[in-house]
Structure 1
Amino acid sequence: MEAFSSLGVGCGLLAALSWGSSDFSGGVASKRISSFQALILGSLTAVAVLTLCAWFYRESFPQVEDTLWALAAGSLGALGIAALYHGLAVGSAAVVAPSSAVVGALFPVVVGTFLEGPPGGRTYAGFVLGGLGIWLVARSAANGRGLGLKGLGAGLTAGLGFGSYFVCIAQAASSGIFAPLVVAKAASFVVALGMVALLRQGVPSPAQSPAALLAGVLDAGGNVFYMLAQQNARMDVAAVLTSMYPAATVVLAAVILKERVAGFQWLGVVLCLGAVSLIAS
């Protein structure tokens, strides 16, 4: 199999766009409700959308093995989000966010190399360039006290959670596209409920945050495109391309919210585009 087909390239980039847009919407929602409450609403919406798609395409409930992989994916992905939120609360966003994004992309590369053998030289060069681009574009400006390393452990843990999601959900693809994702997002919903109960925040009403509901729809789209991408290519390549989602978040924040974007973040966007060119060549 080629490292990536043209269809895989398109689906990988669409997944990055969808997930980046979902993160942007979730960020907007988190200004009115807590991040975990937003995760509940988003997960619930994603389950509804994916269930409707599974019914429309007549996909049956996943086989036992695929169900277990999907449950693991959803739970680990939700725990990765929890670790990310904790890291952002106790440490520097300039360390936590990029470390989680890069580790989330790197972990599937390690697993993919072990399972499928090493990719070509150009693909590896694209991985390196993409990793640097992801780090730069996800990195926020350091505060006046300097960058520091507080929260790095949480960022690395979050990255392992995200990377594990990429690996586990790819193993569940034999039962279809939508049905395994329904199971995964249902698991994320249950984990999110547990987080809210633990923090005693209360379950939000859907009317409280339309942005969180939109985030769930976009998240469902990102998951579907990732499943399609990894079906048309190596899992590690699909994961690296979709891990460029912070670029979409940064661009949307600059265009819609008029937020200032640092020069190194724009450089990161350019490096991500260069990485896509190398990976797809």
Structure 2
Amino acid sequence: MLALAFGLVAAGLWAVHDLLARKLSQGAPLLAILVVVLAAGTLGLLPVALALGGWDRMTGPALAMAVLSGLSFALAIGGLYKAFSLAPVRVVSPVVGAYPLLTLLIAAAQGRPVSGGHWLAVAAIVLGIAVVALAARDDAPEGYAAAPGVAMGWAGFAAAGFAATFALAQEATRLGAELPAILVGRVVALLAMLGLFLWQRGSLAPQRGQLGVLALMGLLDALALGLVTASGGLPRAEYAAVASSLFGVLTVLLAAWFLREKVRAVQWLGIACVFGGIAALGLLGT
């Protein structure tokens, strides 16, 4: 189904983005990186959204949902980059990728039926994260700028932000139009991050040598988020959000290959539990 395909492509794009984020965020000014990445994605999307848009379908409620999705995205990407600046991918990605778990918990809180299979998938996700966290206690300190628990806290914050972003953006698409909803969300996220950047009196100068890579990251992120948001008008749109969450395991694999980040056998087991549970949620329907 098309929504699932959109999600899988988005997962691949985000995996490359997150690999670069881990590489560049260590010891770098995070706000400067975030502003450039968000600006690049916004500028890449702007001409497409203006030319093909459907702005006449953007009702007040659709615009409100798009604005909220942008604020959620600013929080999510900020938490993601902070987590990657503190700990290796194997610790951060399973937590960030577990955001479909939050979607399921919200559904249960709203009184929607949740089957035993869903709860088994949740148990697998929670168990996998616990295994990764406990195994990280024995890691050498060189790969960490803070305790693993601190990095996982930021990763959990990012996961909550992504869950809210996808839900709000897809709702904006259903109420309005895809490209305008995506662009409004990104502009809001950029303005929020730019405001914080100016308030902190940051400087983009240290990043001049990395502007090309940061621009690529912005385009990858914009395209991936655009695919998940665009799926809001497709049957079983939730499959896109669930499938895209598999970016975490792809990022771990890329980090092990390109960054030579070592992953213990027990951590591979935990990572497999997390993403196996996520895949099960997708098959069962979140």
TM above 0.5, one fold?
Answer: yes
The CA RMSD over aligned residues, in Å, is: 3.8
Residue 216 of structure 1 corresponds to 218
Residue 8 of structure 2 corresponds to 13
Kept in 1: contact 2:3–2:234 (CA 8 A): yes
Q: Structure 2 vs 1, CA of residues 252 and 85 (structure 1 numbering), >3 Å: closer, same or farther? A: closer
Q: List gaps (5 residues or longer) in structure 1.
A: 1-5
2:100 to 72, 84, 105: 105
Distance 1:206 1:186 in 2: 22
1:104-183 → structure 2 map (5 Å cutoff)? 104-113=99-108, 117-118=112-113, 122=117, 125-126=120-121, 128-129=123-124, 141-142=136-137, 143=139, 149-150=149-150, 154-174=154-174, 175-183=176-184
Residue 251 of structure 1 corresponds to 253
Residue 144 of structure 2 corresponds to none
2:69 to 59, 70, 73: 73
- The worse-fitting range, judged by mean Cα deviation, of 26-35 and 188-197 is 26-35
Q: Structure 2 vs 1, CA of residues 228 and 81 (structure 1 numbering), >3 Å: closer, same or farther? A: closer
Distance 1:128 1:233 in 2: 28
Query: Does the alignment pair 1:55 with 2:50?
Result: yes
1:201-246: CA deviation from partner (whole Å, max 9, x where unpaired): 2245666422211111110121122124444354554433322222
C-alpha displacement of 1:169: 1.0
Kept in 2: contact 1:22–1:219 (CA 8 A): yes
- TM-score, with structure 1 as normaliser: 0.77
C-alpha displacement of 1:163: 1.8
Q: Structure 2 vs 1, CA of residues 144 and 261 (structure 1 numbering), >3 Å: closer, same or farther? A: closer
Residue 39 of structure 1 corresponds to 34
1:175-254 → structure 2 map (5 Å cutoff)? 175-204=176-205, 208-234=210-236, 236-254=238-256
Kept in 1: contact 2:170–2:231 (CA 8 A): no
Kept in 2: contact 1:130–1:240 (CA 8 A): no
Q: Structure 2 vs 1, CA of residues 140 and 100 (structure 1 numbering), >3 Å: closer, same or farther? A: farther
Distance 1:21 1:95 in 2: 17
Q: Structure 2 vs 1, CA of residues 99 and 275 (structure 1 numbering), >3 Å: closer, same or farther? A: closer
Which letter does structure 2 place at the counterpart of 1:183? V
Which letter does structure 2 place at the counterpart of 1:161? G
1:98-126: CA deviation from partner (whole Å, max 9, x where unpaired): 54543x33222233456693366556655
Q: List gaps (5 residues or longer) in structure 2.
A: 142-146
Q: Structure 2 vs 1, CA of residues 63 and 230 (structure 1 numbering), >3 Å: closer, same or farther? A: closer
Kept in 1: contact 2:37–2:217 (CA 8 A): yes
* SS of structure 2 residue aligned to 1:188: helix
C-alpha displacement of 1:130: 5.2
Q: Structure 2 vs 1, CA of residues 215 and 268 (structure 1 numbering), >3 Å: closer, same or farther? A: farther
- The share of aligned pairs that are identical, in percent, is 24
- TM-score, with structure 2 as normaliser: 0.76
